[in-house]
Structure 1
Amino acid sequence: MELRHLQHFVAVAEDRHFTRAAERLMVSQSGLSASVRALERELQAPLFVRTTRSVTLTEAGRALLVEAERILAQVRAAREAVAAVQGVLRGTLALGTEQCIAGVDVPRLLAGFRRRHPDVEIRLRQTGSGALADEVAAGRLDLAFAVRTRADSDPLRYVPLTSEPMTVLCHPSHPLADGGAVTPGDLGGEAFVDFHPDWGPRRTTDAVFARAGVRRTVTLEVNDVHSLLDLLHEGLGIAVVPRHFGHKREASPLVSLPIEDAAVYETVAVLPPPEATSPAARALMGLLTVGAAQGYGAV
């Protein structure tokens, strides 16, 4: 089994299209098709269901994709490890993060990393914590800044960044605004603005209400912190969010209320096992560890 066959297979699986994958890889479509057919002959199983418009993975293809991504990630890590021993950090740093993650100033951290390691290409992906953990596990990301979403038995490593309480945000005219601390039971009848279920704040909030046995209704779902704040500003609902979200709207500020016995919002750096951690990921974590004075660890 040749490495290029796996690379070609993964590209087609990602693009779901032979022509687009060939263009991205800068190879001929006929050569790409021949490479995939060679892999199918070797494995004695079809990997794709081909139509005139697209291709989809077979069950065998889905099984191979998991292992192929892991193999390619390990090969990349091996190459970068050799380069690091030779005194040059190069290759790619693939980083994932949730939006407005607490405990790290991602733009400043990446700027500091680029100054120190200009030969490393930085790639950044922003999505929910569940997807980020899956991509680190699959080797598509070197590390991610997220909320922990997996069990203690998971092989991924979790380095704590910070923790903070969840609070209620609402418009100053909302009936809750004149009160003090609230409980999940006080909020059961409210209309909520919240994030997609894969986001860390949404997962944390769902856990708070599930533990309290309180059902809530999310009427407005967003994928952007500032959209959530704008909706709250218009009085369209309330939100349960990490405390630092309340500091993001200086003009026309919202009211922040503490929640009794609320879960703590904990953010972490998600990394693969030590043997699979790339030199670039180790360098970034080292910079974060020693860079508090430069504000890399700011909330």
Structure 2
Amino acid sequence: MELRQIKYFIKVAEMEHVSEAAAELHVAQSAVSRQIANLEEELGVDLFFREGRNIRLTPVGRIFLDHVKIAVVELEKAKQEVYEFLNPETGTIRLGFPTSLAAKTLPSVISAFRKEHPQIGFQLRQGTVPELTTAVIQGHIDLAFVSPVPHKQTDVKGQIFFTEKVMALLPLNHPLADEPYLRLVQLRHEPFVLFRQGYILRDTVMKACQQVGFNPRIAFEGEDVDTIKGLVSAGLGVSLLPEITLYGSSEQEWKAIEIIEPNVKRTVGIIIPQNRQLAPSERIFFEFLKQFYDKLNRFGE
């Protein structure tokens, strides 16, 4: 069994068409067909149903695909780690991040890191915290910013960098907009603008509201911070957002107010895999992050 055969098999399985897969691979169709046939002969099973020009995986072919895709990822990772061991300052870090950390945290950290390590590159992937956690566990990304930081997961290890308040966000003309602080129960009759299901921030808001005795009436759902701010600014509801998402924003059309009851906070940090060691460039970045936030926390910024 050759790596070339495996790569041809994966491409054909994804496209369900031999000639189109061959075009993507920049090889002759006959070469792809021959390698697939050799692979099936070696395994002693049919990996595909042939249906004219189209093909599709057999049940055993689908099982085989699931395993070889993991194997190819591990092989590519092994090549990367060997290269980075020899050249730690020229590696590439696959970094995940949630939408709530996209505007402030991610750019400031990467900018500071690149000043010290200009040759290390990044491949960025945005997603929800559950999506990013799965990607780290499966090896699709190397490490990920998350919030909150998990502390009881066996597959990933969390490192907390800071804790921040979650603030109430109100339209500027709201009757409570001039209050110095709020109790969350004061918003029990308001329409809420929240992240859609699957986002941890939505769960944070729901639990906080339930803690003081009500379920929020959800008027709108969004997938990014700017959308939620815009809907609040338009007077379509109120929301709760972390402090860091409000930095650098104009308060001309909305007002952020501290919530004193309950005490709504979240941890922010990074997760790394438990089942493998970080590559040298990843370790450089991880150690940089710990020092970077240690300095910020000591100076109270």
Deviation at 1:156, TM superposition (A): 1.1
1:287 is displaced (CA, Å) by 2.6
What's the C-alpha RMSD, in Å, of the aligned pairs?
Answer: 3.9
1:207, 1:57 → 2: CA distance?
A: 44
What does residue range 110-189 of structure 1 map to in structure 2 within 5 Å?
110-111=110-111, 113-114=113-114, 120-148=120-148, 152-179=152-179, 180-183=181-184, 185-189=185-189
Bigger radius of gyration among the two: 2
Q: How does 1:29-108 map to 2 (within 5 A)?
A: 29-32=29-32, 34-35=34-35, 39=39, 63-64=63-64, 67-101=67-101, 105-108=105-108
For 2:252 and 2:53, the matched residues in 1 are separated by 51
Partner of 2:273: 272
**How many Å apart are 1:138 and its aligned residue?**
1.5
CA contact (8 A) 1:77 1:279 kept: no
Q: Which amino acid aligns with 1:268?
A: G
Identify which range, 255-264 or 238-247, moves more after superposition: 255-264
Q: Which amino acid aligns with 1:137?
A: I
Task: Number of aligned residue pairs: give it.
Answer: 297
| TM-aligned CA deviation for residue 149 of structure 1 | 7.4
One-letter code of the match for 2:140?
A: R
Cα separation, 1, equivalents of 2:108 and 2:168: 29
Higher mean C-alpha deviation, range 274-283 or range 103-112: 103-112
Give the match for residue 286 of structure 1.
287
Measured after TM superposition, the shift of residue 235 of structure 1 is: 0.6
Aligned residue type for 2:268: T
Gaps of 5+ in 1: none
* Offset of residue 236 of structure 1: 0.9
CA distance in 1, matches of 2:38, 2:204: 47
Aligned to 1:2: 2
Evaluate the alpha carbon distance shift between residue 243 and residue 293 of structure 1 in structure 2; reply closer, same or farther with a 3 A threshold. closer
Query: Contact 2:161–2:293 (CA<8 Å) still a contact in 1?
Result: no
Gap regions ≥5 residues in structure 2: none
Q: 1:273 to 1:243 in 2, by over 3 A?
A: same
2:193/2:218 contact within 8 Å kept: yes
Q: Displacement of 1:280 after TM fit?
A: 2.9
SS of the aligned residue for 1:237 comes to coil
Q: Secondary structure at the match of 1:95?
A: strand
Deviation at 1:169, TM superposition (A): 0.3
Return the offset for 1:116: 5.6
Q: With structure 2 as the length reference, what TM-score do the two structures score?
A: 0.77
d(CA) in 1 for partners of 2:77, 2:63: 22
What amino acid does structure 1 have at the position aligned with 2:75? V
Q: Deviations over 1:83-118 (max 9, x none)?
A: 333345445322111124189732344345556656
Residue matched to 1:237: 237
**What's the CA shift string for 1:115-142, capped at 9, x where partnerless?**
6656655311122212111111111111
Deviates more, 1:133-142 or 1:88-97: 88-97
TM-score (norm 1): 0.77
Deviates more, 1:80-89 or 1:261-270: 80-89
Q: Once the two structures are superposed, what CA deviation does each residue of 1:19-49 show, in whole Å capped at 9, x if it has no partner?
A: 6655554444554455555555655666667
Q: In the alignment, what sits opposite 1:261?
A: 262
Matches of 1:150 and 1:62 in 2, distance apart?
A: 33
2:221 alignment partner in structure 1: 221
2:165/2:266 contact within 8 Å kept: yes
Identity of aligned residues (%): 27
Instruction: Please give the alpha-carbon distance, in whole angstroms, between the structure 2 residues aligned to 1:273 and 1:86.
Output: 23
Partner of 2:194: 194
What is the letter of the counterpart of residue 85 of structure 1?
F
